[in-house]
Amino acid sequence: MNVAQALAAASALGLERLDAQLLLLHALGRGPSERAWLLAHDSDALPQASRVAFTVACERRAGGEPVAYIVGHKEFFGLDLQVDSRVLVPRPDTETLVEWALEVAGHRAQVIDLGTGSGAIALAIKNQLPGASVEAVDASADALHVASVNAKRLGLEVEFRQASWLSGSEARYDLIVSNPPYVASIDPHLAALKHEPLEALASGPDGLSDIRTIVAQAAGRLRRGGWLLLEHGWDQAPAVRSLLESAGFGVVASRRDLAGIERCSGGQWLELG
């Protein structure tokens, strides 16, 4: 079997071409940026070990497992993050949240990332704002292990702590940022995400349970002028803005992702104390 035949076999299994290319490069010990190599070597025979590894990877992908879990890593905001089934796969949509965070956070800001998962948001902020003090919490010890490994490998100093949102924290922050669970627990699309941790996806019957908790807690943990920024579902922006306004936040707004969807909402805490 050569490169072209391997990709054709993956297509016959129903795999998208990009997924097949990434899996084949991984099986060959090559990086995800070497797709042009596949085109230039489409008649090259695959080594036996690579052929077996690629076949197994394709079967896993055909079963719905994310490519990132199969290859063990995912690029996010210029960082190569190790990921596995203990954490959600970082999505490109979440880069919208990071971009907004970098706009409002000062270089010496006190920042906390709630529900850090792989550490993607916290590490991206720390990488761009090395003078900021960045803390990251998650209720899952397994997720914190993944995040800590990423931080150490990337040489980024982030303080990790096991907690449920802002519980147990007495500090005040300049920026609270979170990509919390926001899928309704009855949403039929959850079935397609069976390989990812359910507790990081679903949040009550309307998907807003955790966001309500974070908004309620954040008012007492922000310095005057501090920001709370939240990622949410494609149709939840009006509801999240309403929650922020009702809690006393000002300058409430939403940001659109590359697809034009209102993906994030946030507000500034203007009260004293």
Distance from C-alpha of 83 to C-alpha of 116, rounded to nearest angstrom = 12
∠ CA(200), CA(109), CA(250), 5° rounding? 75
The residue count of the chain comes to 273
Q: How far is CA 136 from the centre of its chain?
A: 13
pLDDT at 130: 97
Distance from C-alpha of 111 to C-alpha of 157, rounded to nearest angstrom = 13
pLDDT at 272: 63
Enumerate residues 6+ apart whose C-beta is below 8 A from 255: 96, 97, 99, 100, 262, 263, 264, 265, 266
End-to-end CA distance of the chain: 68
Query: For each successive 10 residues of the chain (273 residues), what is the average pLDDT?
Result: 95 96 96 92 94 96 95 96 96 96 95 98 98 97 98 98 92 96 75 74 82 94 96 96 97 96 96 63
Ranges in the chain annotated CATH 1.10.8: 3-71
Q: Is 180 exposed, middle or buried (0-12, 13-18, 19+ CB in 10 A)?
A: buried
> Which CATH homologous superfamily contains domain 86-268?
Vaccinia Virus protein VP39 (3.40.50.150)
Contact assessment for residue 82 and residue 150, using Cβ atoms and an 8 Å cutoff: yes
Distance from C-alpha of 223 to C-alpha of 150, rounded to nearest angstrom = 29
Ranges in the chain annotated CATH 3.40.50.150: 86-268
In CATH, the number for domain 3-71 is 1.10.8
Distance from C-alpha of 122 to C-alpha of 177, rounded to nearest angstrom = 9
Distance from C-alpha of 88 to C-alpha of 31, rounded to nearest angstrom = 22
Name the pTM for this structure. Answer: 0.92
Look at residues 81, 97, 73, 72 and name the one whose alpha carbon lies nearest to residue 148: 81
pLDDT at 181: 86
Contact assessment for residue 173 and residue 214, using Cβ atoms and an 8 Å cutoff: no
